Amino acid sequence: MADCCSICLNILRDPVTIPCGHSYCIKCYLYRENDKGIYRCPQCGQTFIPSPVLNRNTKFAELEENLKKTRLQATPPDHHYAGPEYVDCDSCTGRKLKAFKSCLVCLASYCEIHLQPHYDVAPLKKHKLVQASTKLQEKICSHHDKLLEIYCLTDEQCICYLCMLDEHKGHDTVSAASAWTEKQKHLLEEHQKFQLRIKEKEEKIQELRNALDSLKHSAQAAVEDSERIFTELIHSFRKRHSELKELIRAQEKAEVSRAEGLLEQLEQEVSEMRRRDVELKQLSHTEDNIHFLQNFQSLSVAHGSEYLLNITIYPNICFEHVKKSISELN
């Protein structure tokens, strides 16, 4: 990372540059010196015998001073600090700020303060910046440690330019940007198809919901109508039942009254006839011919209502026609 010390991985502090062109914090580099008099650059591996002259890197020193001033001038508000859902700045020490961009060359993410060198320092301006991401390693070729910038249409995978010269040699390839544009078109078409299918499904769902509501309303109306009709029928049957009972009782009362009258009349006549029978029996035993002849005519005359003897009563079938009608109704 060009603006960081590759030893402590923090912003360069008191930066010095060795003859091979790489810069480090002076304390970090001096700490790595060995006792054998051989000194090696941690980045490019170039060796120096004896220890190389350490030249102060004025550009990075000025940048460090500017960053210190920026930190003193404004303390970031709490919402600028990174939380679990955000990408941390790789250069912040202590409490880390939210990363604003990620660099595909440095393979690091930076807050707005630590990103400033990528806008000010000429070599860093050429680096490719993307939206802050925790998946930077996925953008690097695992075989060559180079940026994945090419898309192999033959194998349908992202590759680096060395892969194109090696295992993907002769394959149909395009730039990742071009492939992205083409895939975006297909994605848009698929999205539109999905939107259309979703709309059709939603219309079908609404249609089924309407049919379900209609069915429920129809069933409820049928229940209410049947309730009303059967309530009316029950009321009507109860009324008819009451009227029928009254009619039966009225007929019973009339017939009972008539029968009881006839019964009383018959009982009286039977009593009278028993009395006359006794008198006739007594008359038959008299020897007074004059008395016998004088009373015989009056005692032998029939008394009573003979037509009553022709009355026939059927107590078990008086209301058979009513029972038959009710059975047919049931």
Provide the pLDDT for residue 1.
Answer: 43
Percent of the chain with pLDDT over 70: 71
pLDDT of residue 121: 83
> Residue 143: its pLDDT value, please?
85
How deeply is 212 buried, as exposed, middle or buried, from its count of CB atoms within 10 A (0-12, 13-18, 19+)? exposed
Query: What pLDDT sits at residue 2?
Result: 47
Domain boundaries, the chain: 213-329
pLDDT at 299: 66
How much is the pTM? 0.40
Residue ranges of the chain with per-residue pLDDT less than 70: 1-4, 6-13, 26-39, 42, 45, 49-85, 299-320, 322, 329-330
pLDDT of residue 106: 81
Gap between the Cα atoms of 174 and 161, Å rounded: 11
pLDDT in tens, 193-215: 999 999 999 999 999 999 999 99
